[in-house]
Amino acid sequence: MVLLKDALADNSYPGRGVLWCTTGDGTTLGAYFLTGRSPASQARTLHLTAAGELIVGPSDARGHDHLRHYVAARQIGTRLVFGNGGQVSTVADRLASGQDPLPALDGLDYEPTRRSSLPV
């Protein structure tokens, strides 16, 4: 068995991660984590809203940046939608309106990447 901390230790930038499992007593457990290379990406916090959204937001006064601040997860009934951008709210809204999961994912594009911030 590979421990999560060991799997991540060899990766200098794991980015974001989602852990979804069932514990020994049958309880479902979910976790979301994020890392950052730049000081701006490291200056983020996770908080859960009363509406059931897990928000990645700034921990300082830098202001909102859609590439670093977003809805990371949103619960819709017994479903959990998670991701790293605007698609989380789009899919969650579609599911809430009664769409099945496959059509709810249709027509989404990848979030843009700031390539200039990636190491060469």
Q: Given this model, what pLDDT does residue 112 score?
A: 60
Which neighbouring-strand residues pair with 29? 21
Domain residue limits, the chain: 4-108
Q: Does domain 4-108 have CATH number 3.60.20.20?
A: yes
Q: Given this model, what pLDDT does residue 117 score?
A: 44
The beta strands (E) that lie in 1-120 are given as 16-22, 28-34, 44-48, 53-58, 70-76, 79-82
- 34-92 residue pLDDT tens: 888 888 888 888 999 988 899 988 887 777 777 788 899 998 888 889 888 789 999 99
- 99-111 residue pLDDT tens: 999 999 999 876 6
Residues 56 and 98: their CA atoms lie apart, in Å, by 26
Q: Given this model, what pLDDT does residue 113 score?
A: 56
Question: Is residue 14 predicted with pLDDT exceeding 90?
Answer: no
